[in-house]
Structure 1
Amino acid sequence: MSTEQPAYETIKRDGDFEVRRYNGYIMAQVDVRSDFDDALRQGFMMLYEYISGHNRVRLKIPMTVPVTEEIVEDGEKIPMTTPVTAEKTGEGVYRISFVMPGRYTLDTLPRPDNENIRFREVGDHNVAVVRFSGHSHEPRVQEKMRQLVDWMQTNGLVPKSCCRLARYDPPWIPGFMRRNEVMADF
């Protein structure tokens, strides 16, 4: 049985790059002030506890993919024109997100016990993606962000927001088998 992920249509494929049209979905999100890797660990655990039953009705919610991480500043996404997009290092604020299973709505999702977790409804949208395998450590992710932005510019796509990292596999999967992506809305 495969893990649920948001539905999308591939519009264009160019090597490791793709243009996709996603259907809408709901995300559970938490902002964490830390370095790149530690923010993911902390945010993942908060969201994992939520789907494991740490919510007002003790409901367990199935895990979905991807888990995303993006740089934010003062609780807001950083615009693509800000140099920090591909250059941010060290401690910062990162938004970690889980996509909620498609059968839930904002009205049917249980309220989290952790008040830092919030929900966001994402409508249908277009995304440019670069896919890569291996580990997704910060220097490699920054390089993939630069590659994606360059590819988008070459293809006449104007980013609406900062790039985000999408991880699809659990940490025990060997690096060469992992699916990772850097994404940007346009």
Structure 2
Amino acid sequence: MFTSRLAVTALVCLTLLAPPAAMAIEEPRHTVIETSGPFQIRQYEPTLMAEVEVSGERSDAINKGFRVLANFIFGNNRVQQKIAMTAPVTQVAEPASTKIAMTAPVTQVPVTPGDGQAAGEQRWRVAFMMPSQYTMDTLPLPNDPRIKIGVMPGERRVAVVFDGFSTQANLGKHREMLEQFVKERGLTPIGPYMVAFYNDPFTLPWNRRNEWWVPVAP
């Protein structure tokens, strides 16, 4: 579903834009309900996020989106305040009919072409999770009107944790593993499968942490 080039491009963009000390240190708050080998069932708390819609080829689009959002958190907001980076960076593919909704985590999502968009060109939603210290009332507002702020509601997710680079084969293998686990447990997915990356592109493959997530009915 996602190529290694896409994942590396996204994370290189963050690495180049952010100083080392600002790299992701906070993760979405959650409680681990169960661990079974590489699988976990987790309960996530609501998460504030910032999102932008961009268009173009996949790697170009994610660069555009990341640069817009990185510009926002590095001070291009109403109070010129820097906002800490968080982890992970996630990407999710949704049905083409899906419109922007502020109920997705840090994501890149394809959206139906339109609004003067060139034929064959893809639109994407790219988003960052905001640090938990902020609320809708205290988060600095972006100067860029393309950026939307919203809340991902608390939800239960099943995850599979794996290392290695984000090659299509590696991602495909573990996506299938997660789908099988969900099926065997009799769980009901209530949202899209999303892939999460926790490391910069220079981390060695055996030290990398990647995850597939899917929200399920409690």
TM-score by length of 2: 0.71
Structure 2 residue 168 is matched with structure 1 residue 142: no
Same amino acid, percent of matched pairs: 33
CA positional deviation for 1:153: 0.8
**Distance 1:152-1:143 versus aligned 2 partners, 3 A rule:** same
CA positional deviation for 1:173: 2.0
In 2, Cα distance between equivalents of 1:119 and 1:128 = 25
> Which structure's CA Rg is the greater one?
2
Structure 2 residue 152 is matched with structure 1 residue 128: no
**Distance 1:54-1:3 versus aligned 2 partners, 3 A rule:** same
Count of residues in Structure 1 that have an aligned counterpart in Structure 2: 175
Q: How does 1:34-45 map onto structure 2 within 5 Å? A: 34-45=56-67
Q: CA RMSD in A?
A: 2.5
CA contact (8 A) 1:71 1:92 kept: no
Q: Secondary structure at the match of 1:26?
A: strand
**Distance 1:131-1:67 versus aligned 2 partners, 3 A rule:** same
Structure 2 residue 80 is matched with structure 1 residue 50: no
CA contact (8 A) 1:53 1:59 kept: yes
CA positional deviation for 1:170: 1.9
In 1, Cα distance between equivalents of 2:149 and 2:122 = 21
CA positional deviation for 1:34: 4.0
Q: Secondary structure at the match of 1:111?
A: coil
Alignment-derived partner of residue 84 in structure 1 = none
**Distance 1:12-1:94 versus aligned 2 partners, 3 A rule:** farther
In 1, Cα distance between equivalents of 2:33 and 2:152 = 19
Q: Secondary structure at the match of 2:63?
A: helix
CA contact (8 A) 2:100 2:125 kept: no
Alignment-derived partner of residue 88 in structure 2 = 66
CA positional deviation for 1:178: 1.5
Alignment-derived partner of residue 81 in structure 1 = none
Alignment-derived partner of residue 25 in structure 1 = 47
Greater share of strand: 1
CA positional deviation for 1:176: 2.4
CA contact (8 A) 2:41 2:159 kept: yes
User: Where does the alignment leave 5 or more consecutive residues of structure 2 unmatched?
Assistant: 1-20, 102-119
Q: Secondary structure at the match of 2:179?
A: helix
**Distance 1:183-1:38 versus aligned 2 partners, 3 A rule:** farther
**Distance 1:172-1:46 versus aligned 2 partners, 3 A rule:** farther
CA positional deviation for 1:16: 1.1
In 2, Cα distance between equivalents of 1:138 and 1:12 = 28
Give CA-to-partner distance per residue, 1:8-38, whole Å, 9 cap, x none.
Answer: 1111111111100111111112233344444
